[in-house]
Amino acid sequence: MSRVAIVTGGGRGIGAATARKLAADGLAVAVVDLDETTAGETADAIKQAGGTSIAVGADVSDSAQVTAAVERVAAELGPPTVLVNNAGVLRDNLLFKMSDDDWETVMGVHLRGAFLFSRTVQKHMVDAGWGRIVSLSSTSALGNRGQANYATAKAGLQGFTKTLAIELGRYGVTANAVAPGFIATDMTQATAARVGVDWDDFVKNAVSQIPVGRAGRPEDVANTVSFLVSEGAGFVSGQVIYVAGGPRA
Torsions phi, psi for 138 (to 5 deg):
-170, 155
The closest of 25, 162, 148 to 91, measured between CA atoms, is: 148
Give a three-class secondary structure readout of 188-212. HHHHHHHCCCCHHHHHHHHHCCCCC
171 annotated active-site: no
Position 222, amino acid: A
Cα–Cα distance between 133 and 32 in angstroms, integer?
A: 15
* Catalytic hit among 103, 117, 150, 160: 150
Angle at 98 between CA 151 and CA 87, to 5 degrees: 45
Q: Calculate the dihedral angle through the C-alpha atoms of 90, 83, 114, 62, rounding to the nearest 10 degrees.
A: 90
Cα–Cα distance between 175 and 239 in angstroms, integer?
A: 8
Positions marked active-site: 150
